[in-house]
Amino acid sequence: MKATAAAHANIALVKYWGKRDEALLLPEAGSLSVALDKLLTTTTVELGDFAADSFTLDGHPEDPCRARALLDAAGIRKRARIASGNDFPTAAGLASSSSGFAALAVAACAAAGLRKSADELSALARIGSGSASRSVPGGWAVWEDAFARQVFAPSHWDLRFCIAVCAAGPKQVGSRDGMRATRETSPYHAAFIAQCRRDLPDALKLLAARDLPGLGALAERNALRMHADALAADPPLLYWQPATVACLLALLELRASGVAAWATIDAGPHLVAICASSDAGAVEGRLRSVPGVTEVVVCAPAGAARVLS
Ligand code: DP6
């Protein structure tokens, strides 16, 4: 009744920002992501006759409510002791619900002795957090409906993803509340969703062709449009810090000097630069020199969530 699993966080190149079903966590539009090797979460689940569920993240107690929703969806009635740890090089605010709920879904089903398919595990992870559905298959993954699927293996394309950790500001609005507020109040939201529906098939073609300028530029446009949508919410959602903008400008300069790198940004201040592995050193060095950037983590594509023991 005890198992440990690991999963990588993922970064979306076509973003999920809006639900068509709030209870089932189904997205309004499909999204595309890649799993990141350096962002690994390891989770141990023990099932038993405990007084209550408990959940610790890096040793700190957290609310087990979303984890319980996932366990209920799996048909696991026993109480759970969940211990999760992020294996990140720094404690710099890179914690991600994508790796956390993917590792939880895999560990919980293993602990309960449930034999689930990869598609079923992805659908369970989705109940914890939509983006977690993509961390179960890992690699280059597409999520449109109940579960996500790997569309290309991590080895398909040896790109690098340089995460510039931008000084954390005052506590921001999380993805769940942020995307709900955007959907309800942003006049640009329908346009953003329509754009995502066009971006996904285009991105898949560019990914198949390993077209870095094409996919990089598409991912950057998609992310900036997501932020334009969020900025247009009422009240506005501004996720960026000064260092985020400085990193965007640094990438413009890099491109002007012949180094091909494009940005994506989730619902937070950190910027992820997408580039060829041969350019990763130059991109990392430039981002490290940006005032306000406290750390740069260079990641390669990673694989699926897995049971460790
Ligand atoms: C900006 O998956 O964290 O990272 O489904 O409400 O838990 P919930 O949201 P979550 O949102 C991720 C938003 C994003 C874009 C993405 O990963 O596609």
Evaluate if residue 298 carries a pLDDT over 80: yes
Distance 266 CA to ligand 1 centre (A): 8
Distance 256 CA to ligand 1 centre (A): 32
Distance 176 CA to ligand 1 centre (A): 7
Report the phi/psi class of residue 292: left, alpha or beta, with left for phi > 0 and alpha for psi in -120 to 50. left
HSE-CB for 96 with a 13 A CA cutoff: 30
* DSSP, res 301: B
Per-residue pLDDT, 67: 98
Q: Residue range 7-12: average pLDDT?
A: 98
Percent of the chain with pLDDT over 70: 97
For helices 212-231 and 175-185, what crossing angle results, to 10°?
Answer: 70
Q: Is the CB of 267 under 6 A from ligand 1?
A: yes
pTM: 0.97
Q: Is the CB of 131 under 6 A from ligand 1?
A: yes
Q: Which residue(s) pair with 261 in the sheet?
A: 275
Q: Which domains does the chain have, with CATH numbers?
A: 2-155+303-307 (3.30.230.10), 157-299 (3.30.70.890)
Q: Is the CB of 266 under 6 A from ligand 1?
A: yes
In ligand 1, the atom with minimum distance to the C-alpha of 129 is 7
Note every long-range contact of 227-232, with CB atoms under 8 Å and residues 24 or more positions apart, other chains counting: 227/265, 228/188, 228/192, 229/17, 229/182, 229/186, 229/188, 229/189, 229/191, 229/192, 230/17, 230/178, 230/182, 230/186, 230/267, 232/182, 232/186, 232/187, 232/188, 232/189
Q: What is the pLDDT of residues 93-121, one digit of tens each?
A: 677 899 999 999 999 999 999 999 999 99
Q: Is the CB of 12 under 6 A from ligand 1?
A: yes
d(CA 235, CA 226): 16
The residue contributing the CA closest to ligand 1 atom 6 is 176
Q: Is the CB of 129 under 6 A from ligand 1?
A: yes
Q: Which of 56-70, 85-99, 196-210 has the lowest mean pLDDT?
A: 85-99
User: In 69-167, where do the E strands start and end?
Assistant: 79-86, 140-143, 148-152, 159-166
